[in-house]
Amino acid sequence: MEGEETARAAMPRPSRLTSLQEQMIWALLESGLSRDVLVQALGELEQDRTSASAEKGERGDGESSEEGEMDFPPPIFRDLEKLSPEEAAKLRVEVDQLLQEDPWHVAKIVKSYMQQHNLPQREVVESTGLNQSHLSQHLNKGTPMKNQKRASLYSWYVKKQGEISQQFTNAKHGIASLDEQEEVKKGRRNRFKWGPASLQILFHAYERQKNPSKEEREGLVEECNRAECIQRGVSPSQLAGLGSNLVTEVRVYNWFANRRKEEAFRHKLALDTPFTNQSASSSNLNLSSPDHGSTLTRFRQAGVKYSQQILCDTMSSARGSGGERVGRLVVSPVQLEPSHTLLETHNHKPVSSSGPLPPVSTLTSLHSLSSSSASSQSLIMASLPSVMSLGESSLLIGLASTQPQAVPIINNVGGGFTTLQPISFQQQLQASSQLPISHLQSHMCASPFMATMTQLPCHMYSKSDSPQYHTSSLLSQTMVITDGSSLGNLTSLSTVRPILTEDPEEQTDPNLQEESLHLQPHTPVPAASSQSLELYPASQTTDSHQSHLLSPSPTDISSYIPTQMVSTAQ
């Protein structure tokens, strides 16, 4: 900052300040800086600037000693300056206390706090200047960290606690000053992340209905936010404290859309890969027919191969032949099928390939499976698509009571707590080749899925479109043209379009204003987007922005509208 520079230059000769320098210093002091903080900041900045080259040499020596030199005062110290002096002092006291304690113990505390509030490590890294890998290792495994670095970590932690409690208390007033600071730094809020509590709720709902209506989504939003608040130990009414992890209707909509897309894609993959395991199943088929006619008919919809697969599974696992029971059994053997093939053919090869936890989407994990193992695996995929999602939900739902039956390749959208279980179950599978008993056990949670199973094939075909995100239209619209993904924008664009087609040549400000203003009462847009309409002319009225909006509008909007409009049509 210029002010700091001139003030710093003034430091050696305190009596000879120019009046501008005086004004600057006065301004700084007025902004909340205390004399001490200012002096300290000056010292740090001076050190930093004068010893820039020397630091590189020092770094090598510094590493060996306990108290290494900080290369650069991490950004967090700059933040401290912004606080009032008493608060800064309080923070330092707390940080010192933490530094005294056992580092591993404090690391656990910090880690659990981050998990509780769904804070990304990236945020810590940015504001403390720590190395992300080092930070991760320190928090998760207790890798030692030098005191200075731990100090900056703890400073961030204490400060974050303060910020978050402020967020929660200011929720009603809608004050989000610290959030905005962060936003200014990052340019955008932290990326939203689903908490485990919300995911549970969502998976439950997904099993019930894949395509919730707006009201249902709103209900889910409430439920999820309540759960997230409870998880953080805060009253459910203080939503703004969730900050970037606040669940909104848009996010819920997107989540459902993504799950549906995943399913459709899995099914598509399954259909694509050729089936070759039919010789093995054909002998089993002979035993099946009379008892499993009902099941057969159900699954015939999904394709002959699919049902063959199921029968194969049913036969290999089921001992009893009650229709209902078979129905249930169909589910789990299908899920467990990979274990059969594993044991029969590839021993542990597919197992190892599915060992490393797949990333978010099942799709990628399926891909890796199909490429790495033989086509016998493809049958798994055939049967899995419809079951996969059920498997996921069974993973999450059946967690407490039953063993998750899902194949390890089932995606771990649920997060950490799903990952452990498949692996342990896998070991069980390897141990026992005959699994009727465990099947029965697991059916308890499998049974509700049967109803949905039948619907699935139809679902997959009818709802395979790419979902376009509806927004609740509360997106701010500074530049209508640049933000093209919201329905609010679309409708405003669509209303603008008539203007453009009517008066393609006229780009004069008043005309456009009038036209768009006229449109407001006439166009039957939903209330949400009329809000956006109001914004549009309002933003037009600013003289400086008008030329911005007008000149690109005729050309760009017309190209935007067709693409956007098409994709929203479902």
Partner 1 sequence: MAGKIQSLTEEERTHLLPLLRNAQWVEVVGRDAIYKEFVFKDFNQAFGFMSRVALQAEKMDHHPEWFNVYNKVQITLSTHDCGGLSQRDITMATFIDQASMM
The answer to whether 179 contacts partner 1 (rule: CB under 8 A) is yes
- Let me know: does 387 contact 381? Beta carbons within 8 Å: no
In angstroms, give the least distance from the CB of 509 to partner 1: 10
- Let me know: does 430 contact 346? Beta carbons within 8 Å: no
Find the binder of partner 1 among 131, 237, 347, 478 (CB under 8 A).
Answer: 478
Find the binder of partner 1 among 356, 538, 555, 563 (CB under 8 A).
Answer: 538
The answer to whether 508 contacts partner 1 (rule: CB under 8 A) is no
Angle between helices 75-82 and 85-100 (to 10 degrees): 140
The answer to whether 488 contacts partner 1 (rule: CB under 8 A) is no
The per-residue DSSP string of 92-145 comes to HHHHHHHHHS-HHHHHHHHHHHHHHTT--HHHHHHHH---HHHHHHHHHH----
Count the alpha carbons within 13 Å of 473 in the hemisphere toward its beta carbon. 18
With a CB cutoff of 8 Å and minimum separation 6, the contacts of 87 are 162
The answer to whether 505 contacts partner 1 (rule: CB under 8 A) is no
Find the binder of partner 1 among 60, 174, 233, 274 (CB under 8 A).
Answer: 174
Phi/psi region, residue 432 (left: phi>0; alpha: psi -120 to 50; beta: rest), is: beta
Nearer to partner 1, 268 or 545 (CB): 545
| CA–CA dist 185, 127 (Å, integer) | 10
Nearer to partner 1, 243 or 338 (CB): 243
**Total residues interacting with partner 1, rule: CB under 8 A:** 37
The answer to whether 510 contacts partner 1 (rule: CB under 8 A) is no
| CA–CA dist 137, 155 (Å, integer) | 19
Nearer to partner 1, 6 or 558 (CB): 6
Nearer to partner 1, 371 or 544 (CB): 544
Count the alpha carbons within 13 Å of 517 in the hemisphere toward its beta carbon. 11
Interface stretch with partner 1, choices 128-136, 181-189, 348-356, 484-492 (CB under 8 A)? 181-189
Instruction: Name the strand (E) or helix (H) holding 422.
Output: helix 416-431
The answer to whether 237 contacts partner 1 (rule: CB under 8 A) is no
Provide the token pair at 293: 């006619």
Find the binder of partner 1 among 5, 8, 10, 28 (CB under 8 A).
Answer: 28
Q: Residues 41 to 100: which contact partner 1 by CB under 8 A?
A: 82
The answer to whether 8 contacts partner 1 (rule: CB under 8 A) is no
The answer to whether 511 contacts partner 1 (rule: CB under 8 A) is no
The answer to whether 26 contacts partner 1 (rule: CB under 8 A) is yes
| CA–CA dist 383, 314 (Å, integer) | 12
Find the binder of partner 1 among 9, 20, 230, 287 (CB under 8 A).
Answer: 20
Q: Residues 187 to 216: which contact partner 1 by CB under 8 A?
A: 189
SS3 for 6-51 is: HHHHHCCCCCCCCHHHHHHHHHHHHCCCCHHHHHHHHHHHHHHHHC
CA Rg value for the chain: 30
The answer to whether 543 contacts partner 1 (rule: CB under 8 A) is yes
The answer to whether 24 contacts partner 1 (rule: CB under 8 A) is yes
Find the binder of partner 1 among 9, 11, 31, 39 (CB under 8 A).
Answer: 31
Pick the closest to residue 242 from 165, 154, 162, 159 (CA basis): 165
Find the binder of partner 1 among 132, 177, 485, 547 (CB under 8 A).
Answer: 177
Compute CA 385 distance to the chain's CA centroid, rounded to the nearest angstrom: 23
Place of tokens 């996921």: 392
Site string for partner 1, 241-280 (x = CB under 8 A): --xx-x----------------------------------
Which residues of the shown chain bind partner 1 in the complex (CB under 8 A)? Answer: 3, 18-20, 22-24, 26-28, 30-32, 82, 174, 176-177, 179-181, 183-184, 189, 240, 243-244, 246, 474, 476, 478, 534-535, 538-539, 541-543
